[in-house]
Structure 1
Amino acid sequence: MKAVQANAFGDPAVLSVVELPDPAPGLGQVAIDVSHAAVGLIDLFFRQGVYRDSPGMPQPPFVPGLEVAGTVRELGEGVTDLHVGEQVVAMSQTGTGGYATVYVANAHSVVSIEGSGIDPALAVAMIPNAAMAYAALTEVAHLREGETVLVHGALGGLAGAFPGMAKQLGASRVVGTVLTGKLDQARATKLPYDRIVDSTQLSEVLGDEKFDVIIDPVGGRIRTQSLALMGPGGRLIAAGNASGDREHTITDSELWLGSITIAGFNAGAFLPTHPEVVRPALEAARTAVAAGLCQTVVDVLPFSQAALAHERMENRSVAGRIVLGARS
């Protein structure tokens, strides 16, 4: 098979297309002929070596890629609910392996899109992230019908899946925030936000409005500012750190005084330890995407341009999501 491999930690130039042996599925696994692999922020962090000293994190050489779409190539022993040739989307439990023409996934991390009418490029761009949003909202934030949600970094790959999933789960209002320079782009989006505001002027534009749930994949200063936007019983989900501010802290007195909760959600840690959540999350995500609740711009590049895809992600010159096409 062809694969995009990170041969060392470093800049996008460490990525190259290589030939590797075709993997075969084991017990409870599915081999997939990959048509599309999504490019995510975690791929950049792995390539850069941000987590190089953390146990279990990928070490070069490795194949990045968390999310794939394609058709079932071969079924491992014990897999009975899928068939060869079926269109599917799959999530990696290791966060790697997706930038390849053949990928092996655990069957419970695979969902069929056969007959759904969902374009596979959109499917891989949105279904896994919407599944993560479902898990975060139901298992961690415990979102209830009629509650309100605020999403920081509203156009991000993961963040952009939250408004549609929150609406599907019964949220009454979903507001997004972006930096000043992205306001025009954000307001033209098809994502189902009720309003999108400037993240540098939260108190000015939101006034006394409070939110039941805040999704924060940005971190840093905006995480502290979010505390004033929650009433008693509010829940903030720390879902990433795109700001890169790893020194930011919040004191426990701020939590008990406001009677608010901050919880972390890292899909790479949560989903492998809660496997029973994965398939229902993927099925809910498929429903949301098919209903048009997770529309985004998808730019498809060939595998040979994986380095360019990473450069564009680093330069923040991405309007929606970048997907690598194995057959482009």
Structure 2
Amino acid sequence: MRAVEIVRPGGPEQLTVREVPDPSPGPGEVLVDVTAAGVNRADLLQRQGHYPPPPGAPAWPGLEASGTVAALGDGVEGWTVGDRVAALVAGGAYAERLVVPSGQLLRVPDALDLVDAAGLPEAVCTAWSNLTGPGRLAPGERVLVHGGSGGIGSVAIQLVAAYGAWAATTAGGPERTARCLELGADLAVDHRSDDFVAAVRDATDGHGADVVLDVIGAGYLARNVEVLADEGRLVMIGMQQGRRAELDLGAVMTRRLTVTGTTLRSRTREAKAAIVADVATRAWPWLDDGRLRPVIGARLPLDEAAHAHELVESGNVFGKVLLLP
């Protein structure tokens, strides 16, 4: 089969399509013929040599895919050959075929385009598990999602709105903020020209955000603490603007704040299966009534993986970039 390999750590030019051995499913695994794969910032880090795949994962990038079930390993129940699926994986989605633990599959509704479904698994599982897990989000609370025009942010806005919470977001420029409002955000702040702390405080009558879901990292730490309501929760899931910053422990203690961070890729199969099961039960059904939908910025052939990485790196794409084998 064809897969995108990283020749050596470096820029997008280090991605190349090569023939690699076909995978075969082991016990509890499913072989998927890939229709499309989502491109994530974690893939860019892997390409640069900063985020190696966990043991046992393929060497080529890709954390999510959509496709059809091609074969079942021993002991797999609940799936049949030909099923339309979306998959959350630890690596290897940039390929024509992919082996997936059966517990990390989601059924794609008939009404949803199978290509576009590839833009959902990583974003939905990341956003949902962090909002409802360490974020402890409750209906009616106020949430600030940073990077609302990104692959995770554009999905997180929809999840917050569907869950019955108030959603604010940041994005770059009036066109992007307008599109975030269309996705269900109650407030969209242009981070290039406006102060999101003041905007959220004003919009909530001084209350602030009960939960902040942050992909920015060090660059926003101080302002994230400032925008939190008393007993607020800051959940960091990215480090686009650095990994080191100073934290005001006095504010954390006196206002009873929670500051935490998570990653998804390195978790065990059992932990991922639990997240996928929760998503399937509580969030995935929103695809049927239109409260959740994939937001796709570009669809490119597998041979243009380098260009796909350039698009994601530029930050100019609204939503997900997909690769089609």
TM-score of the superposition, structure 1-length normalised? Answer: 0.90
Q: Please name the residue that 1:194 is paired with.
A: 186
Q: Please name the residue that 1:63 is paired with.
A: 60
The Cα of 1:124 is off from its aligned counterpart by 1.3
1:159 corresponds to which of 153, 161, 182:
153
Q: Please name the residue that 1:325 is paired with.
A: 324
Letter in 2 for 1:233: E
For the residues of structure 2 that align with 1:91 and 1:262, how far apart are their CA atoms? 26
Aligned-residue RMSD, C-alpha: 2.1
| Correspondences of 1:237-248 after superposition (within 5 Å) | 237-243=235-241, 245-248=242-245
Letter in 1 for 2:66: A
For the residues of structure 1 that align with 2:56 and 2:174, how far apart are their CA atoms? 36
For the residues of structure 1 that align with 2:171 and 2:109, how far apart are their CA atoms? 35
1:254 aligns with 2:251: yes
| Correspondences of 1:20-169 after superposition (within 5 Å) | 20-51=20-51, 56=54, 62-92=59-89, 94=90, 96-115=91-110, 117-169=111-163
The Cα of 1:160 is off from its aligned counterpart by 1.7
Letter in 1 for 2:247: I
The Cα of 1:198 is off from its aligned counterpart by 2.3
Task: Say whether the 8 Å CA contact 2:88–2:121 is kept in structure 1.
Answer: no
1:177 corresponds to which of 145, 163, 170:
170
| Post-superposition CA distance 1:85-140 (Å, at most 9, x none) | 11000010x2x10000000000000011153x111232111243112211112221
The Cα of 1:273 is off from its aligned counterpart by 5.7
Structure 1 unpaired stretches of 5+: none
Change in Cα spacing, 1:27 to 1:272, as seen in structure 2 (3 Å) is: closer
For the residues of structure 2 that align with 1:143 and 1:247, how far apart are their CA atoms? 26
The Cα of 1:279 is off from its aligned counterpart by 2.0
For the residues of structure 2 that align with 1:269 and 1:91, how far apart are their CA atoms? 12
Secondary structure at the residue paired with 2:175?
Answer: helix
- Deviates further, 226-235 or 264-273: 264-273
Change in Cα spacing, 1:203 to 1:276, as seen in structure 2 (3 Å) is: closer
For the residues of structure 1 that align with 2:280 and 2:297, how far apart are their CA atoms? 20
| Post-superposition CA distance 1:231-282 (Å, at most 9, x none) | 2211111111122x12223143231022111111211245646232322224
For the residues of structure 1 that align with 2:56 and 2:304, how far apart are their CA atoms? 22
1:289 aligns with 2:287: yes
Runs of 4+ in 1 over 3 A off after TM superposition: 55-59, 269-273, 282-285
Secondary structure at the residue paired with 2:151?
Answer: coil
For the residues of structure 2 that align with 1:104 and 1:40, how far apart are their CA atoms? 19
Secondary structure at the residue paired with 1:268?
Answer: coil
Change in Cα spacing, 1:196 to 1:266, as seen in structure 2 (3 Å) is: same
The Cα of 1:36 is off from its aligned counterpart by 0.3
Calculate percent identity across the aligned residue pairs.
29
Change in Cα spacing, 1:216 to 1:169, as seen in structure 2 (3 Å) is: same
Structure 2 unpaired stretches of 5+: none
